Amino acid sequence: MSENKSRNFIEEIIEEDIRNNKHQGRIHTRFPPEPNGYLHIGHAKSICLNFGIAKQYNGKTNLRFDDTNPAAEETEYVESIKEDIRWLGFDWEDREYYASDYFQQLYEFAVQLIKAGKAYVDDSSAEEIGKMRGIPTVPGILSPYRDRSIDENLVLFEDMKTGKYKEGEKVLRTKLDMSSPNMHLRDPIIYRILFTPHHRTGTNWCIYPTYDFAHGQSDSIEGITHSICTLEFENHRPLYNWFIENLDIFPSRQIEFARLNLEYTLMSKRKLLQLVNEKIVDGWDDPRMPTISGIRRRGIPSEALREFATAVGIARRENVIEISKFENIVRAQLNKIAIRTMAVLRPLKVVIRNFSSELEWMEIVNNPEDPKSGKRKIPFGKEIYIEADDFMESPSEDFFRLTLGGIVRLKSAYIIQCEEIVKDKNGDIEYLLCSYIENSRSGSDKSGLKPKSVIHWVEVSNCISATVRLYGNMFTVPDPSNYEDIHSILNKESFIEISNAKLELEMKSANKELRYQFMRKGYFFQDKSSTSQNLIFNRTISLKDSFLK
RNA sequence: UGACCCAUGGUGUAACGGUAGCACUACAGAUUUUGGUUCUGUCUGUUAAGGUUCGAAUCCUUAUGGGUCAACCA
C-alpha cells in the first residue's frame, strides 16, 4: 500500500473500511460465476479484481458457483471454470462453494419472511404478474393473492416444496412496494417451481430461489465483506440490502463496476454459445474466441491477461477498450519470452548458383531480448526457401526486400543477389536463381554492401513441413454486440490455414509449453492437437508491421 | 416521458478545492542483421450554461448526451 499510488474507487472504499475497522478490517470477496457457459475475458477482469483486491489487503476470495437455475447449468461448465481460474493463476484454496449448498438455509429464510408477513404465495400466471407489475412510469397493481394469511402462505409454500404444484402454477413473492419506481422492488419473485434436475442436488428440490434471493444471502452466509459485481446489478442493490436488513443477517456490501467491453469482441454468453452450437467456431476454446480457454489455446500467456485486466482500470463508466491495447500487452509479454526461429509460411525456392553443395553452419541468437537464452547453429546451403512475398518482380518504391537484380541480407547468413526468375508454363514463379556475396557472411561482413532489408529463410534439405493457422478478428465491425444477426458481421478471413509452411528442422521437437517467434511473422504456439508427426502452430499474434500495403 | 448511475484528448484511466498527468493509438525522427524491439519528440482533453470560492475537472443547480431496469435468467 504505497502512499501516493492512485487507487480505484473500490480500493478507496476498502481502505476507508479498514480505517474504520469495519468487520475488524477483514476483507473477503468472491467470484460468483453461473456454470452455464465458459468464462471469457470479461470474467477475467472480474476474477483479477476480486482475487487481486483480496490479496492486496490480506483478505480471502471464495469461488462460488451461482447455480440456482437447474435449467441452464451443467457440471462441464463447473470444471472448465475451475480450470480457467487456476490457469489465470488464482487459488480459492478450500473455499469452493455453491449457492445450491445453501438451498436449505435459503428455504428457511423464505419461511422467516413469510412468518414476518413479508412474503406471499402468488397463484397468478407469469403473464398476469408481468402485467400487474406495470411499467417504470406507472405503478403496478396489487396481486389478488397479496393478502393471504401467514398460515395459508406457510402451507402453500410447503406444498410448493413437496411438489404439489406444477411449474408456473405458484411463486413466492416478497410483499414490498408495487408502486416503487425501481421495478425490482415491485414484489419481486423469490422462489419458483422447477422440476428440471439440478446438477448437484438432483431432484431433492423442486423450488429454486431466484438470483435476488440467493446472491446476497449467499454473500452474507459466507461473510463476504465486499460483493463486487457489474453495473447492471445496480438497481438490484436496494433489494440486496432489503433482504439483509429484513432477515437480519451479516451485512455484505454490494459494489458495482463497469464491465469490460473490447473492440471486435463479443461478450454475450448467449451469442458465444450460438457460435459454438452453429459450429462457426471450433468449440469454446477456438483460438478466435474471447473465452479464457480460447485465449489459452491461442497462446496468450496468463500473465498478459492479468496485466490487461489491471491495465483497463476499474471505474463506473461504460467503456470500450481498443483492441490495440490488448495486442500491445500481449506482444510486450511475448517479446520478452519467445524463442526466435525462422519459418517460411509460403515458400519460394531460391537456388544459389555459386554456393557449394556443402552445408555451412551459421550462428543465431535464440532471443535477443534475453541474453540467457543463448545461441544455436543452423545450416545454410545451396537451396533455400524464402517467403514468397519477400520477393517482388515489379516492386513498388517502398519495397525493401528482394527484387530482380537487387540484393537482400539473409538473416544470420549471406547477402544474396537475384539474377534470374524461373517460371513455369503458367507464368508462375517456380524458383529464383541467385548468387551470394562471398565476403558478406554475418559477423564477418567485408562486402561493404548495405542491403535495405534482412529476410528469413530455411535450408531446403533441413526443414520440416508444418501446418500454420492464422487468426484474425472474428467480426468485421468493432461493435459486434450492436448487431443481433452475427452472421452478417462474421469476418470470413478470421481463420486461415497454411498446410505447407517450412520450419527449421529443430522445430520437430518444439516444446508445447514454449512460445515461439517466427521471425518477421509473429508469435506462435502449438495447438493442443499438434504432435511431432503433425505439427500445428497457432499464430497468437502478428508482429507490428510498419510496411502497410 | 419514472428511478438509479455515468460524463476528462481518438481510446482507457489519474488528479479527492491549488501546475490537467500516465498508458495505448496516430504521426515524425534515431537505433537496429526481424519493416520487430528499444529510444526521443509531436498532435489532440475537463459535455454546456449558471452558481459557490481568492481559486473549480473536482462542490451546488439546470440542461444535454449516454447506460441500466418492466424474465418465474444471472
Give the pLDDT score at A320.
97
A 6-25, residues with C-beta < 7 Å of strand B:
6-9, 12
- The values of phi and psi at residue A70, to 5°, are -60, -20
d(CA A179, CA A231): 24
Distance CA A227, CA A215 (A): 10
Q: Which nucleotides of B are covered by protein (CB under 7 A)?
A: 1-8, 10-16, 23-26, 33-38, 66-74
A55 catalytic per annotation: no
Residue positions counted in chain A: 549
A421 within 8 A of A429, measured Cβ to Cβ: yes
Q: Are strands A463-471 and A536-541 parallel, antiparallel or unpaired?
A: parallel
Output Rg (C-alpha) for chain A, integer angstroms: 31
Catalytic residue among A11, A22, A26, A34: A34
| Residues ≥6 apart with Cβ < 8 Å to A5 | none
Determine if strand B comes within 7 Å of the CB of A479: no
Q: Does residue A131 lie within 7 Å of nucleic acid chain B, judged by its CB?
A: no
- The one catalytic residue among A269, A306, A382, A521: A269
Q: Are A103 and A209 in contact (CB under 8 A)?
A: yes
What is the mean pLDDT, run by run of 10 residues, along chain A of 549 residues? 73 96 98 97 98 98 98 95 98 98 98 98 97 95 97 98 98 97 97 98 98 98 98 97 98 98 96 96 98 98 98 97 98 98 98 96 97 96 98 94 97 98 97 97 95 97 98 96 94 97 97 97 98 97 86
Question: Whole-angstrom Cα distance, residue A187 to residue A174?
Answer: 5
Whether A189 sits with its Cβ under 7 A from any strand B atom: the answer reads yes
**CATH class assigned to A261-342+461-549:** mainly alpha
8 A C-beta contact, residue A119 and residue A212: no
- Does A423 participate in catalysis according to the annotation? no
**What secondary structure does DSSP assign to A76-89, as a single string?**
HHHHHHHHHHHHHT
- For A45, list phi and psi in degrees, rounded to 5: -60, -45
Assigned C-alpha cell, A219? 454473500
Please check whether the domain covering A346-456 is classified as CATH 3.40.630.10. Answer: no
Separation CA A393–CA A406 (nearest Å)? 10
Residues A74/A77/A79/A82 CA torsion (nearest 10 deg): -130
- What is the reported pLDDT for A346? 98
> With 0-12 CB in 10 A as exposed, 13-18 as middle and 19+ as buried, what is A334?
buried
Distance CA A365, CA A178 (A): 72
Residue with cell 492486496: A56
Q: β-pairing, A119-122 with A375-380?
A: unpaired
CA closest to C1' of B2 belongs to A137
User: Which is catalytic among the residues A259, A271, A325, A376?
Assistant: A259
Q: How many angstroms separate the CA of A315 from the C1' of B15?
A: 15
Residue with cell 468487520: A23
Which amino acid, one-letter code, is at A420?
E
In order of A401, A528, A549, the CA distances from A454 in angstroms are: 7, 33, 18
Indicate the class that CATH gives domain A9-257. alpha beta
Q: How far is the CA of A302 from the C1' of B43 (A)?
A: 35
Question: Which nucleotide C1' is nearest A335 CA?
Answer: B37
A135 touches strand B (CB under 7 A): yes
ipTM associated with this complex: 0.97
SS3 percent helix, strand, coil of chain A, rounded to 5, is: 30, 25, 40
Name the closest nucleotide to A67, judged by C1' and CA.
B74
How is chain A split into domains, by residue range? 9-257, 261-342+461-549, 346-456
Is A332 within 7 A of strand B by CB distance? yes
Tell me how many degrees the CA angle A107-A113-A118 measures, rounded to the nearest 5.
140
Amino acid A4: pLDDT: 59
Residue A404 per-residue DSSP state: B
Residue A161 half-sphere exposure, CB side, CA atoms within 13 Å?
Answer: 14
pTM: 0.96
Handedness of CA A479, A481, A486, A488 (dihedral sign): negative
Q: Which nucleotide is nearest to A452 (CA to C1')?
A: B35
Nearest nt to A392, CA vs C1'?
Answer: B35
Query: Distance (Å) from CA A262 to C1' B24?
Result: 13
Q: How far is the CA of A195 from the C1' of B11 (A)?
A: 48
A259 part of the active site? yes
Q: Is the CB of A182 under 7 A from strand B?
A: yes
Give yes or no for CB of A119 within 7 Å of strand B.
Answer: no
Cell numbers for A108: 428457511
Residue (of A199, A217, A195, A218) closest to A207 by Cα position: A195
pLDDT on residue A548? 67
What is the C-alpha to C-alpha distance for residues A278 and A295, in angstroms, rounded to an integer?
A: 20
| A286, A266 Cβ separation under 8 angstroms | no
CA of A311, C1' of B10: distance in angstroms: 18
What span, in angstroms and rounded, lies between the C-alpha atoms of A151 and A50?
43
CA of A340 to C1' of B39 (A): 23
pLDDT for A6: 87
Q: Is A479 exposed, middle or buried (0-12, 13-18, 19+ CB in 10 A)?
A: middle
3-state secondary structure of A154: helix
Q: What sign for the dihedral angle of Cα A220, A38, A480, A485?
A: negative
In the 259-318 stretch of chain A, whose C-beta falls under 7 Å of nucleic acid strand B?
Answer: 311-318
Any strand B atom closer than 7 Å to A369 CB: yes
- Residue A368 beta carbon within 7 A of nucleic strand B: yes
